[in-house]
Structure 1
Amino acid sequence: MLENNLPSWRQDLKSSRKKEGKLPSNRWIQLATVSVRNEPRLRTVVFRGWNKDSSMIIFSDRRSEKIEHLKSNPNAEILWFFFKTKSQYRLKGKISELSDNKNYWDTLSEKSKSSWFWGSPGEKINQKLDSAYEISSNLPKSENFIVLNFEIDSVDLLKLEKPIHKRYLWEKKYKWEKKEINP
């Protein structure tokens, strides 16, 4: 652990993010879940910050299919690739809903808040319904807005270096342990 009690992989991730700068890959992550039919499902979501030293925050719509997946199986994996450092992070853990999410709602722009009142994800667009919630100030917190807490229990980092790639694995057992493994 570092002096500020963060796992060492967080420092590596922070360094990768800093080098990535303003590229979208600095915030866009791929979230994998398992459907109720036991099929893999993958989608891009936005990294919203840290809850604790090893808990990642993601916003979602309560009506999206990933919520049903997570109710039946909370195990998930995130893949985060950084182009500039050629670093691939695979984060494994469990996802749960944070019940106290009002503070997160308050951080959203008015434009973003309005999107939580649109029709359900995956349904045909209803022009009348979806335009009913145009950008306005002081929208109440939508019941569709939820905050997911991804509690990470292992991190696999692959650094695509020349001439030989490097790979590291951190596992949270009693404390975060790092070991170098074959790429």
Structure 2
Amino acid sequence: MYSRPASPIIQRTNGPIPWKAKLESSFERNYSSTSMDSVYVSMCNIKRSGDVSMHCLQFRGFLKDDARFLKFSLAMNDNILMGDIKSDPNAKISWTMPKTKEYFHFKGKFYIASAPIQVTRFPPPKIIDDDTSASDYWEKQRIKLWNELDAKSRATFTWPSRGEIPKAADISFSCQALKSSDKTLVHDIAMDNFCLLVFKITDIEHFDHSDFPPKRWVYKLSVKTNLWDIQMANP
């Protein structure tokens, strides 16, 4: 006999973020802390034209102060990704874990923390802190992530816009940071082009088929109550 699907288990919590431990545990089990391999996730949103955009973003870590934020990087002159995010900062992210084969689907909103000299129409989110302004907080986070990047990653922020076609065949998009004699100037140019891209999670679907029967959890953040609704859905 086949068992009937169980009724959804509905909970509401205002305690610690209920999915945080699962996501961080899954990350630790799937990626070695000593590995130099980059971790990429897929994101999509809607362009101004109405078409669906798709990008692979390099995951840069969790925001320690708030687990609802995932960190990525963005070049100010990346007209493709920057343009798609500005057209609609609301997006979805899909993350399949390579070893455990479980996946997380995230729904949320992107925010851009750029260098102070840059101007964007989408400033980073506000924070509740009497001692630190939102701009100061996110600038510290941007610099912190910049300092964590290796030399080659920093050098990419001196490159022209992604997808740009050379005007002449003999023009190469070589890395200026590895050739320039004025390292300070090149470093400043690269750092000013570097943006911290953060994604604030509002909904999560977590599917785990490591055991039988597989399990699917759905987490939704209520805007009105700021509480997380938890449901166990059919696999």
Report the structure, 1 or 2, having the larger strand content: 1
1:58 aligns with 2:72: yes
Corresponding residue for residue 47 of structure 2? 35
Structure scoring higher RCO (CA < 8 A, sep ≥ 6) equals: 2
Corresponding residue for residue 133 of structure 1? 177
Q: CA deviation at 1:141?
A: 5.0
| Distance 1:41-1:148 versus aligned 2 partners, 3 A rule | same
1:79-124 CA-to-partner distances (Å, cap 9, x unmatched) read 1111322211001001011242233222222221111101210013
More deviation in 155-164 or 110-119?
155-164
Q: Read off the aligned partner of 2:76 and give its amino acid letter.
A: R
| Distance 1:24-1:154 versus aligned 2 partners, 3 A rule | farther
Q: CA deviation at 1:161?
A: 4.1
Q: Which runs of 5+ in 2 are unaligned?
A: 1-14, 115-138
Q: Read off the aligned partner of 1:9 and give its amino acid letter.
A: W
> Across the two proteins, how many residue pairs are aligned to each other?
178
Conserved in 2, the CA contact under 8 Å of 1:36 and 1:68? no
Conserved in 2, the CA contact under 8 Å of 1:153 and 1:171? yes
| Distance 1:123-1:34 versus aligned 2 partners, 3 A rule | same
Q: Which runs of 5+ in 1 are unaligned?
A: none
More deviation in 106-115 or 18-27?
18-27
Corresponding residue for residue 91 of structure 2? 76
More deviation in 109-118 or 137-146?
137-146
1:120 aligns with 2:161: yes
Separation in 1 of the partners of 2:95 and 2:17?
17
Corresponding residue for residue 227 of structure 2? 175
Corresponding residue for residue 9 of structure 1? 19
RMSD: 2.3
**TM-score, structure 2 length as denominator?**
0.68
Higher-Rg structure is: 2
Q: CA deviation at 1:66?
A: 1.9
Q: CA deviation at 1:59?
A: 0.2
Q: CA deviation at 1:168?
A: 0.5
What's the secondary structure of 1:37's corresponding residue? coil
Within a 5 Å distance, the mapping from 1:89-168 to structure 2 comes to: 89-99=104-114, 100=139, 101-124=142-165, 126-127=171-172, 129-134=173-178, 138=184, 139-140=187-188, 142=190, 143-161=192-210, 163-168=212-217
| Distance 1:40-1:117 versus aligned 2 partners, 3 A rule | same
Separation in 2 of the partners of 1:97 and 1:40?
20
1:41-89 CA-to-partner distances (Å, cap 9, x unmatched) read 2221111122322011110122221211111211111111113222110
